[in-house]
Amino acid sequence: MPESASPARPPLDGNHSKVIRHQGDFTWEGIPMEPYKETTETWRGMTRRELAGKRGESQQFHLRYFEIAPGGYSTLEQHEHEHVVVPIRGRGEVQFGQYIYRVDFGDVIYVAPEDPHQFRCPADAPEAFGFLCVVNAERDVAVDGSGTCHICE
């Protein structure tokens, strides 16, 4: 079918098949950048984009893109749910308890239930550390290193 005769693209909201177009520079059409979490007490320099799972889809998981600026980090937290992270931009670090790993494009990081973990972008990094995260749609409350509870967003 010629391009001019194509039907209108479906909206991003709703439980139907869709394509969310990557626009370059790690942005996606119609997907706003949001804060990582509501408060900034336990993290710095981090944003997220909700790619799938919060627009009416019926899936059991969410797909999000997180980005951490050089010198930034996520909350050091632990929770019952597991998640998988795949770096797609820059380089970063992940900490599991006392172990720290450098991670790069295409690595696959599995965060097991109840493992304390944190993601970081080194202060001397030439660009942000960006990664895709697949997580359960229904998640438990996370506890950070200070014992404060947060919804793992």
Confirm whether 133 is a catalytic residue: yes
Six-digit token pair at 109? 């990081």
Assign 3 to helix, strand or coil.
Answer: helix
DSSP 50-103: EEESSSS---SEEEEEEEEEEEEE---EE-SS-EEEEEEES-EEEEETTEEEEE
Of 121, 133, 149, 152, which is the active-site residue? 133
The amino acid sitting at 112 is A
Cα R_g (the chain), whole angstroms: 17
**Catalytic residue ranges:** 133
